[in-house]
Amino acid sequence: MLRGKLNALRGLIRDKEASALILTNPRNMGYLLGYEDGILAYLDDSTVKVVVPLLDYVRAMELIGGDAEVLAYSGYKLPVEGNFIFGSDELTRLVSSWVRQGSGVVIDDPNNQLVGKVLNAANAKPINASGDIQGIRSVKLPEELELIKGAIDITLKVLDELYGMRLVGIRERDVAAYIYQGLIRHGGDELAFNPIVGSGPNGAKPHHTHSDRIIGEGETVVIDIGARYRLYCADVTRTLTTGGIEGKLKDAYEAVVEASRSAIRAIKPGVKASDVDAEARRVINEYGFSWGFIHSLGHGVGVEVHEKPLLGPGSSDVLRAGNVVTIEPGIYIKGVGGIRVENMVLVTEGGAEVLTRDKYAYV
């Protein structure tokens, strides 16, 4: 997996007519190395080096292995044996010695003070390419897809357990606690985000988390959860019902399901992300709920739970084979409840592959 990522990033260095690349964004370092807690990662046409905190040196070595030269840093001198870097001045001198004097260097954070000092010391020109790196990350390698599928598998296992539970009489907070425990128990390293358990009127708040509200009969429960597995994220929403729903809520559920299916059918390489959003919006408008769909249709998922491409009305992104995106139309009725169904979809050469199939995916 590292080879493909190195090729892409070294291609970026060449495209920018630079001599090297310095990463300080944790997610970008995680993307490249499978380790995101470093101080910086340095890449040129022949070497990969990463500076990590001394206290995390052993773990970093285990995670990175032989894929890069790992150097340990402490902000102050310690009585330890080994070839370690002590103090910011020594770190600046060392990293600047790697940089070709007077050259351009690709960076991912123009506000990073350490990188600024390094480039000044080397009389080098910063070339901010954070957007380009996000674009590279948006197209997943096969090995990345396997890790995403691992995160999805963990997430769907927890959802399947929830499908078999009687939720009436339980606090949203207690369901959220079960989700936390379940995502870790089934193999997640952490949660991709704070889980949402929105019952009844709380479901009409798209970014509600959870509360002491007790789930009642005959209402919807919006559950939005995702595991993070070996740095890669899942993001899945299901809307459960506690008994029959009628009226606007029932119509809204039908609209969301149809909008999701129609949007997924519209996905293929070369399609504007905004056009996929527009297709979902068209269906919801036909049901008379244009006022209730108050967010974008979806987003990319990878080492971050929200990344490129953005599927929304104002997006300039174009779908590419290898993108993994969410399709999550929703309708929110204030004081009553919400409906959202979110699936993760792989953009393939021939169209779309739904990665999050289960009985409540409705695809």
CATH topology identical between 2-137 and 139-354? no
Q: Distance between CA atoms of 16 and 8, rounded to whole angstroms? A: 13
DSSP state of 79: S
Tell me the pLDDT of the chain (363 aa) as tens digits: 688 999 999 999 999 999 999 999 999 999 999 999 999 999 999 999 999 999 999 999 999 988 899 999 999 999 988 889 999 999 999 999 999 999 999 999 999 999 999 999 999 999 999 999 999 999 999 999 999 999 999 999 999 999 999 999 999 999 999 999 999 999 999 999 999 999 999 999 999 999 999 999 999 999 999 999 999 999 999 999 999 999 999 999 999 999 999 999 999 999 999 999 999 999 999 999 999 999 999 999 999 999 999 999 999 999 999 999 999 999 999 999 999 999 999 999 999 999 999 999 999
The predicted pLDDT at position 3 comes to 87
Q: 133: buried, middle or exposed (CB in 10 Å: 19+, 13-18, 0-12)?
A: buried
Of the candidates 64, 238, 228, which has an alpha carbon nearest to the alpha carbon of residue 150? 228
Of the candidates 62, 59, 67, which has an alpha carbon nearest to the alpha carbon of residue 5? 67
Number of C-beta neighbours around residue 181 at 10 A: 11
**pTM, to two decimals:** 0.96
The predicted pLDDT at position 51 comes to 98
Per the listing, tokens 């209730």 go with: 292
Q: 350: buried, middle or exposed (CB in 10 Å: 19+, 13-18, 0-12)?
A: exposed
CATH of the domain spanning 139-354: 3.90.230.10
DSSP state of 266: T
Amino acid code (one letter) for 270: G
The predicted pLDDT at position 1 comes to 62
b/e 296-306 (16+ beta carbons within 10 angstroms → b)? bbbbbbbbbbe
Q: Distance between CA atoms of 204 and 46, rounded to whole angstroms? A: 53
Q: Distance between CA atoms of 260 and 339, rounded to whole angstroms? A: 12
User: Of 3.40.350.10, 3.90.1580.10, 3.40.640.10, 3.40.50.2300, which CATH number belongs to 2-137?
Assistant: 3.40.350.10
Domain coordinates in residue numbering, the chain = 2-137, 139-354
